[in-house]
Structure 1
Amino acid sequence: MVPERSARWSQKVTSSSHALHLEEGVFSLDDPKAIARSLKAAAEASEQRKSEPFRSAMSMLTFYINRAGHQLPARRRRILEAAKNELRELYGRPRRH
């Protein structure tokens, strides 16, 4: 059994990151492009991030996917994985399959 404090910690990180000020509900959007645009805007606006904007945005998205783990419905996982490719495209990086 996972301690409740641990669950609260990961939820707090995604909802109130000090490095990125995320739009509320960004990870529940149904449009991968909208998720990517929102993460990009948050990463570029942040003055507290420790790495380049692309890396910060991708790290936050990957963190969310990994922390949700097996509890993430397949449809939501597909949308979030597609958002990774949209984020890569916004930064002029190659898409992955």
Structure 2
Amino acid sequence: MPERKTLARAQADKRAGKAPSTQAGEFVKEEMEHVRAGKHGVRSAKQAVAIGLSKARRAGVDLKPPKKGAASEATRKKARKDTAAGQGKAGSSPSKETRAKRSRTTTAVLQRESRRGASHEAVSKQAKSAAAKRPAASRSAAAKKAAQTKGAAARSAAAKKAARTRAARAHAHH
């Protein structure tokens, strides 16, 4: 069960009209914190993200399952099941006994994994590789959208920093 503060944050995001992926981000963040705190480990940063998304769907965040071909059929099926459980559909959640047993087993398995998956390095690598798979146009659109949510002060600070970086790069090449 996700922590109360995570659910509260996700609900606040929803009320603020933020995208489902933003709401789900709160659950992913919680998962990273769990790994960093040593509650359990993960095989990779990707797995930590997947656990977070699954929890988000089960908590009722309206996240669509991945597109056909974007993820394995099993992953898509799991995503659909999580969504159904989150909406409280009949027969979509396993019995209490199964839940308790499964929960213990997964925790035990994850505790054997390393904590390295949630390191800053691993998360950054995962974010970079995920971004690199996306077309340039979509990356650019994301950056533009992000710039709009910044205030004027933050925008000018970002522009100054970009100018500094450009100057430094031009300098380094000569």
TM bucket by the smaller chain? 0.3 to 0.5
Structure 1-normalised TM-score? 0.36
Which of the pair is proportionally richer in helix?
Answer: 2
Q: Which has the higher contact order (CA 8 A, sep 6+)?
A: 1
Structure 2-normalised TM-score? 0.24
